[in-house]
Amino acid sequence: MRRLDSKSLELADVGRPAGAGAARAGRIALTLSGGIVLLLLWQACVAWLGVPPYILPAPAKVLAALWSGLAVPVTSPTGFYLPLASTFANAAWGFAIGAILGIAVGSLMAEFRAVETVLMPYAFAFQVLPKVAIAPLIVIWFGFGNGSKVAMAALLAFFPLMVNSFTGIRTADQERLDLLRALSASRLETYRVVKLPSAAPYIFAGLDMGMVYAILGTIVAEFLGAQQGIGVAIVQAQAVTDVASVFAALILLGAVGIALHLTIRLCERRIVHWTVRQDT
């Protein structure tokens, strides 16, 4: 794809068939109406079949629960804001730590055969382990406070970044590496100028995955015991069979996930601007 500057963009707009924008709006409308139909069906099923609310609450109930958690002061102990902030903060710290370590270890493995030989088999052995099963150990080591949540998030975010930065660096273009060699560039210079930027698209794909895993890790650690967080809110709601609140918490988590995904994509487009537009 070629980058469109403002001028060619205007031309493209002029030249575009009049229906193109409408078609896009139509697709969005279709997706939305699909969701609305699903909600209506859900509501209808619950009403007609008499499903008890502790099995499946009606969407209206879920929306009410969501509203009651959101339409409160930010510092309210019954609101969603405090647990959400706690979960988000822990996931973000874990994500940052896991991502930085993952990129560092992936880079070292890609740069030094010896490091690769030593670590790769263990990394893969660890990779196939269902890491959620390690959560109880993490809680034993890091306690019931924020430490275990951050550690779990970091652990889960680490792997996609390690694997992706390793792969990305190894796929750096040979001619570009030759160029740096012809310029007598040092290993660090080559890493900084060619290898890391070459790996950037892979690293962003890893960040996208790692973000989802970091939230997953935090929630799992919260399930095992915590003072605060969305995971705690879910467990507490479950304990009193307030299924509508469980759904509300899930919707909130989904919304946060989408927002973070879009943020990462936005950063990617800004930083790795050449991937979609280059053809050299």
- Judge contact between 58 and 43, C-beta under 8 A: yes
CA–CA–CA angle 57, 61, 65 (5° rounding): 115
Q: Confirm or reject binding of residue 7 to other proteins (CB under 8 A).
A: no
Q: Which is nearer to other proteins, 13 or 189 (CB)?
A: 189
Site string for other proteins, 74-113 (x = CB under 8 A): ----------------------------------------
- Rounded to a whole number of angstroms, the minimum distance from the CB of residue 209 to other proteins is 23
Which amino acid makes up residue 275? T
Q: Confirm or reject binding of residue 10 to other proteins (CB under 8 A).
A: no
- Rounded to a whole number of angstroms, the minimum distance from the CB of residue 5 to other proteins is 8
* Alpha helix ranges (H) inside the chain: 6-15, 19-49, 59-70, 81-111, 113-128, 135-142, 146-170, 174-182, 187-190, 196-223, 230-239, 243-271
**What are φ and ψ of residue 184, in 5° steps?**
55, 35
Q: Confirm or reject binding of residue 197 to other proteins (CB under 8 A).
A: yes
- Rounded to a whole number of angstroms, the minimum distance from the CB of residue 270 to other proteins is 12
**What are φ and ψ of residue 149, in 5° steps?**
-70, -45
Q: Confirm or reject binding of residue 200 to other proteins (CB under 8 A).
A: yes
What is the chain's alpha carbon radius of gyration, rounded to the nearest angstrom? 24
- Rounded to a whole number of angstroms, the minimum distance from the CB of residue 190 to other proteins is 8
Which amino acid makes up residue 91? A
- Rounded to a whole number of angstroms, the minimum distance from the CB of residue 204 to other proteins is 13
Interacting residue ranges for other proteins, rule: CB under 8 A: 2-3, 5, 173, 175-176, 178-186, 189, 193-194, 197, 200, 272-274, 277-280
